[in-house]
Amino acid sequence: MRRLVSPGYLSLGLLAIVALSDVMYGLQTSGTGKFAPDALFDAVTSATEARVSIVRSDDPALPSPASVAGDLNDRQIEAMVRRAVDLIGGFEWLVRPGDRVLIKPNIVDPEPPGVGEITDVRVVKAIARIVHEVTGGDVEVIVGEGSPRPMAWELPYAPSWNAPAWTELWDVAGFQTLLTDPELADVNLRLTNLNGPWEDLVEVDIPQGGYFDRNLGRLWVHKDVLNADVLINVPVMKIHNTGITVALKNSIGLYPATKYGFSRSVGVPQDDFKHRLLHYDDAPRDWVEEQVVDINLVADVDFTIVDALMTLQQSKNAMRSGTTITNQIRRNMILASADPVAIDHVAARLMGQNPDDIAMITLAERVGLGTNNRDQIDVFGAPVEPNIQQYIKDPLYTSDFGQGNRTWLLAGPFPAAEVDAPLDHAFLADEAALIGQPGRDGWSEPIYFFDDRIDLGAFYNVGVGARTVAYAFTWFDAPADQQAELWIGSDEGLRVWINGEIAYDYTRRRTYRDDEIVQDKKLPIRLRKGENTLLVKAVQEFSDFQFALNICEPEANFTIDGDRVDGLKFRAVPLAMTAVTDERTTPAQFALDRNYPNPFNAATVIPFHVDGMAGRDRRVTLEILDVTGQRVRSLVDRALAPGPHSRVWDGTDDAGRAVASGVFLTCLRVDDGTASRKLVLLR
């Protein structure tokens, strides 16, 4: 598939992931114990600017502006799609004559256009017409989806299915009409069922090796997905029990149901139920992000156009009371972007959700699929803030607190069998004032957990019955002095300090359910603007050695509560380290480029560039530092002429000794300016 825009795709394979994790505490592959060093992502992810457009039906630049509260006709919808695409550069850069273009809508149930559950066929029609025009008609347009509802020939793959099957592919949804629409008569267009048959499916390796354990580094996908030159994703904007379902989640339809099942969480008897995904019944909190990431890495979506004409709150499905659909919200908007993460970020905010609470958004950004930083997302057309509308969450989701903090510095484990009151015993001196030091003084490097539950038992390999204590530390940056709620859960004793003051103290035992991490623990706290410290002390003896934690907006309405404080960011490294990473402290005077390879084993090349006038050398130092800021190796310490340069680091210190595997910083100083990047050494 040709790719013209890359929002920072990873190049790190599964072997590198496993090797790195073997060195730095291990990448677990089951249950809540799955974790990895946070540097695994830093080593390969690059933040990029993203462009997202929002077009309302009342945009004065449209030929026939219309109310955002009323029905729209085909021409008005097409004009909105055209403007959304044009605002971020058109399709000329994306589609070329001779291309094969796959348009992937969201089709769930036999619902007519305009209900809000399925992609409105008129949006797809508009895209087909634009693609046809851009290429002068020299293009094949394929509309493809792997619906969770089977065709008649697919029923053997869904032995328990008792609802009506499609008689024609997506007939009620109106997509059959595309084939006979006179306005598409000149378009080389066909429909394709991405569920199969098997002879049309191909098993492929997942870039980076994949993150969803059951995929085992490979997944099945329809040949039309692999053979497409351009893939345009066309989701609907809806609430789901994953938080939202927009661009990233829509790619789940690319998992072929004749391999993964109806639904895709069950597998199929023809394949001995070998391939299947997770759904809510399997993993109530975090059942989707890793499998969403895997399919998006394979599909490599080029462009997303979101149908936000009629949207749904509470559920991804239309909810009816008699003949009335009760969860519709008409928005009459079209969104467009080449960045699936950025467009999900914007869509989440438009629905009153915090993107940092949507696990698939944050993980997709970590693996390089796009941008989740609002400061790096340029929005064209209508602005976000005046168009935010609070959606009711899915009832299955409202008992959760969004996404807890998943990256921590850890210290321990400390045996406590001989300690009568371990919560009151200081295993580290001056507990209340503890500040985690990445990789120093008994603290781990930042560790990322692939689950809201921070599974200390798995991390330390501590079983039930071994009375143990551990500490977890993070900083968080609060946007303002304000009231908030500490949402927290654990099975056993837990004490939490915020800025050195005890904010939570639990000394008993309980069992908190998978689908309700917090139960009744929503404690009022006061935030101070700027940097704050948060320390957790956990005790384990009889139950799971786990905890989960988030800092949320106070909200009395349980149908919308549980959002992390807007703008609050957790971080497990000191502010000084985050400030220099990938940043230059003086404008346009020099550049520190990414080293390659990264991670590396024997040696890595560090390219950099020094600006200035010809014939005028500039003082340059290039050093390798450990994560504490101590120098490991000096590579350059002299005047250099302007222009490109590079140095090789072979993983040794200034004395020529091989250093241990770990995370290091490349630090470039030119005159008074400094730049820094992370690199990872694997032995």
Same fold, 407-573 and 577-681: no
CB of 398 closer than 8 Å to CB of 517 = no
Residues sharing a CB contact under 8 Å with residue 26, sequence separation 6 or more, in sequence order: 35
Residues sharing a CB contact under 8 Å with residue 621, sequence separation 6 or more, in sequence order: 634, 636, 637, 667, 668, 669
Q: Which CATH architecture has domain 577-681?
A: Sandwich (2.60)
**Closest Cα partner for 475 from 565, 549, 575?**
575
DSSP string, 522-541: EEEEEE-SEEEEEEEEEEES
CB of 93 closer than 8 Å to CB of 222 = no
Inform me whether the pLDDT recorded for 432 exceeds 70. Answer: yes
Residue 422: cis peptide before it, omega within 30 degrees of 0: no
Q: How far apart are CA 682 and CA 666, in angstroms?
A: 16
Q: Parse the chain into domains and list their residue ranges.
A: 57-387, 407-573, 577-681
Q: How many CB atoms lie within 10 A of CB 665?
A: 19
**Closest Cα partner for 59 from 334, 348, 388?**
334
| pLDDT score recorded for residue 13 | 32
| pLDDT score recorded for residue 32 | 54
Give the confidence band of 401 by pLDDT, cuts at 50, 70, 90: low
| pLDDT score recorded for residue 680 | 81
In 407-528, where do the E strands start and end? 407-415, 447-449, 454-455, 468-478, 482-490, 494-498, 501-506, 522-527
Fold of 407-573: Jelly Rolls (2.60.120)
Q: Are strands 236-240 and 243-245 parallel, antiparallel or unpaired?
A: antiparallel
Q: Are strands 501-506 and 494-498 parallel, antiparallel or unpaired?
A: antiparallel
Lowest mean pLDDT among 232-246, 247-261, 372-386, 396-410: 396-410
| DSSP 8-state code for residue 372 | -
Inform me whether the pLDDT recorded for 604 exceeds 90. Answer: no
Identify the residue with better confidence: 615 or 315.
315
Lowest mean pLDDT among 43-57, 163-177, 272-286, 365-379: 43-57
Q: How many residues does the chain have?
A: 683
Lowest mean pLDDT among 9-18, 139-148, 194-203, 331-340: 9-18
44-48, 66-70, 571-575: range with highest mean pLDDT: 66-70
Q: Looking at the DSSP assignment, which residues form a beta bridge with residue 647?
A: 606
| pLDDT score recorded for residue 514 | 46
CB of 294 closer than 8 Å to CB of 212 = yes
CB of 610 closer than 8 Å to CB of 642 = yes
Give the confidence band of 511 by pLDDT, cuts at 50, 70, 90: low
CB of 271 closer than 8 Å to CB of 342 = no
Structure tokens at 89: 């550069």
Q: How far apart are CA 190 and CA 103, in angstroms?
A: 10
Identify the residue with better confidence: 598 or 231.
231
Q: How far apart are CA 145 and CA 195, in angstroms?
A: 8
Q: How many CB atoms lie within 10 A of CB 325?
A: 17
Helices (H), 494-593: 575-580
Residues sharing a CB contact under 8 Å with residue 385, sequence separation 6 or more, in sequence order: none
What percent of the chain clears pLDDT 70, i.e. is strictly above it? 87
Residue 290 phi, psi (nearest 5): -70, -40
Q: How far apart are CA 190 and CA 497, in angstroms?
A: 60
| pLDDT score recorded for residue 18 | 33
CB of 233 closer than 8 Å to CB of 301 = yes
Lowest mean pLDDT among 44-58, 126-140, 149-163, 649-663: 44-58
| pLDDT score recorded for residue 649 | 92
| pLDDT score recorded for residue 671 | 74
DSSP element (H, E) containing 621: strand 618-626
CB of 360 closer than 8 Å to CB of 292 = yes
Structure tokens at 312: 């749904």
Compute the C-alpha angle 182/185/186, nearest 5°. Answer: 145
Q: How far apart are CA 470 and CA 537, in angstroms?
A: 6
Structure tokens at 506: 């639990």
Structure tokens at 277: 């995904």
Q: How far apart are CA 324 and CA 205, in angstroms?
A: 45
Give the confidence band of 348 by pLDDT, cuts at 50, 70, 90: very high
Digit-coded pLDDT (tens) for 553-596: 998 888 888 889 999 999 988 765 554 444 333 334 677 877 77
| DSSP 8-state code for residue 77 | H
* Across 413-418, average pLDDT: 90
Helices (H), 305-416: 340-350, 359-366
Q: How many CB atoms lie within 10 A of CB 378?
A: 13
Residue 642 phi, psi (nearest 5): -60, 145
55-64, 149-158, 599-608: range with highest mean pLDDT: 55-64
Q: How far apart are CA 221 and CA 459, in angstroms?
A: 34
Inform me whether the pLDDT recorded for 28 exceeds 60. Answer: no
| pLDDT score recorded for residue 306 | 98
Q: CA 34: distance to chain centroid?
A: 17
| DSSP 8-state code for residue 67 | -
| pLDDT score recorded for residue 503 | 93
Residues sharing a CB contact under 8 Å with residue 272, sequence separation 6 or more, in sequence order: none
Q: What b/e sequence results for 50-74 when a residue is b if at least 16 CB atoms lie within 10 Å of its CB, and e otherwise?
A: bbbbbbbbebeebeeebebeeebee
Q: Are strands 673-681 and 662-670 parallel, antiparallel or unpaired?
A: antiparallel
The Cβ-side half-sphere exposure at 389, using a 13 Å CA radius, reads 15
Give the confidence band of 209 by pLDDT, cuts at 50, 70, 90: confident
Question: What's the whole-number average pLDDT of the chain?
Answer: 86
Residue 6: cis peptide before it, omega within 30 degrees of 0: no
**Closest Cα partner for 209 from 35, 368, 14, 26?**
14
Q: Are strands 230-234 and 303-312 parallel, antiparallel or unpaired?
A: parallel
CA distances from 253 to 14, 32, 245, 325, 338 (A): 24, 26, 12, 24, 19
Q: How far apart are CA 178 and CA 183, in angstroms?
A: 9
| pLDDT score recorded for residue 583 | 39
| pLDDT score recorded for residue 403 | 87
DSSP element (H, E) containing 591: strand 590-592
* Across 585-609, average pLDDT: 72
Give the confidence band of 395 by pLDDT, cuts at 50, 70, 90: confident
